[in-house]
Structure 1
């Protein structure tokens, strides 16, 4: 399905035609995640002028595919995405889950093509940012460059954390780490860190954690029995945050080895 595309009207200008005033950065609930603090109205208008358009996608739509030429970055305005790749055998594995305020496409800057495929996990919307425009904007506004570098650094740290999860932790520790990661990211966005919906399927979780679907299903059932979580379909509630954090650190597993 083709995504709906909307042009963003810059700050201080009246919307007309296909322009969408509701898409302004200044009115976005997640602007503190995408943009540096303290931008003036004039600077905010310059940022908005760098955004090409907004794109709306429905569940299952592909935003970009691995191997596709790079030209744009995408800031998630609302909804959830999943990025995935295929190994040399053609087996798909998940590289990350993205939500509102996250940036997609950063991994394509280095070699000029997307390294992963980004798929909408539900009805979602992104702000499309032509990279050439962003580069020019960063020259004009050093605070935007600093914020972008900070975002890239956070991406590196997230990748390093994922390596630790897959390379060191046991299966139950991996799952606990994923649930806590989602909890912390929802808290950063003003949502409950204890009650949220799992937008991804159990198979997606398994492909991200390097586990089988059966293992993830069994572990979720065990977490319920141990009163660590409550789970109804995809509605999750963390009942014992402290115990889940202890499990995620690998302390319990280390003691038993």
Structure 2
């Protein structure tokens, strides 16, 4: 039933049809309203999820109650893949919530692990995907640890533009609704600090911020600023 959708997911696209068929036979679908919880980080990790439509924000909260956005997932993205190959019982690595009406496919980790054990090609693709995710997460942690707030903000906007941007002539519009507070939660800083950086970028005519929309006015100029930050 979901063969075509699964075949469109980057790390699954080159797999044989029978493997896609095995996965399709095990996945189930769920629909979530805007703001609805998909799972909490204290829940037992029992499934891997694929976004069919909509957006999912994955976040965590530290002991002081400060929220950090770990990632944002859109159609075609996978999340909670870290529930695979871990000692049971284990909990999810963050809290997942729909930021708009969202459909997800999910497969029980035990079912997916069984399919992986019978299909080495799937195991290889999942290892590659998880390795890519690890490198990406490591680069973000490096930026958070080593860069000043200006550079972190510029690099975060640049990364979001790569992931979610739509380019029209010189402009790039980030197609994810983001407030300054959302941006601060992604960076791991305060709203006030990020707001000062965004104000500076606006004065330089590098970005336009309108409610929950961020537009990079000139991608080449912004990239030059990014390289020099």
**TM-score interval for Structure 1 and Structure 2 normalised by the shorter chain:** 0.7 to 0.9
- Contact 2:41–2:95 under 8 Å retained in 1: yes
Task: Report what 1:49 is aligned to.
Answer: 25
Structure 2 stretches of 5 or more lacking a match? none
- 1:76 equivalent in alignment to 2:54: no
Alignment-derived partner of residue 194 in structure 2: 216
Determine the C-alpha separation between the residues in 2 that align with 1:43 and 1:108: 20
Q: Whole-Å Cα distance in 1 between the matches of residues 185 and 5 of structure 2?
A: 36
Give secondary structure in 2 for the equivalent of 1:75: strand
- Partner residue, 1:59: 34
Moved over 6 A (4+): none
- Where does residue 237 of structure 1 map in the other structure? 215
Q: Within 1, Cα distance between the matches of 2:149 and 2:126? A: 34
Contact persistence 1:165–1:209 (CA under 8 A): no
**How far, CA to CA, are the matches of 1:99 and 1:183 in structure 2?**
14
Residue 42 of structure 2: SS of its match in structure 1? coil
Change (3 A) 1:89 1:234: closer
- Give the whole-Å Cα distance in 2 for the aligned partners of 1:152 and 1:216: 30
**Alpha carbons of structure 1 residues 213 and 108: separation in structure 2 relative to 1, 3 Å:** same
Give secondary structure in 2 for the equivalent of 1:77. strand
- Residue pair 1:173, 1:247 contacting (<8 A) in 2 also: no
Question: TM-score if structure 1 supplies the norm length?
Answer: 0.78
Contact 1:83 1:117 in 2 (8 A): yes
Q: 1:101 to 1:59 in 2, by over 3 A?
A: same
Q: CA deviation at 1:50?
A: 2.4
Question: Size of the alignment, in residue pairs?
Answer: 223
Match of 1:121 in 2: 99
Contact 2:83 2:109 in 1 (8 A): no
Partner of 1:35: 12
* Residue 100 (structure 1) shift: 2.0
RMSD: 2.2
**CA separation in 1, counterparts of 2:207 and 2:4?**
37
Q: Which has the higher contact order (CA 8 A, sep 6+)?
A: 2
Out of 96, 113, 125, the residue aligned to residue 147 of structure 1 is 125
Cα deviation for residue 116 of structure 1 reads: 1.1
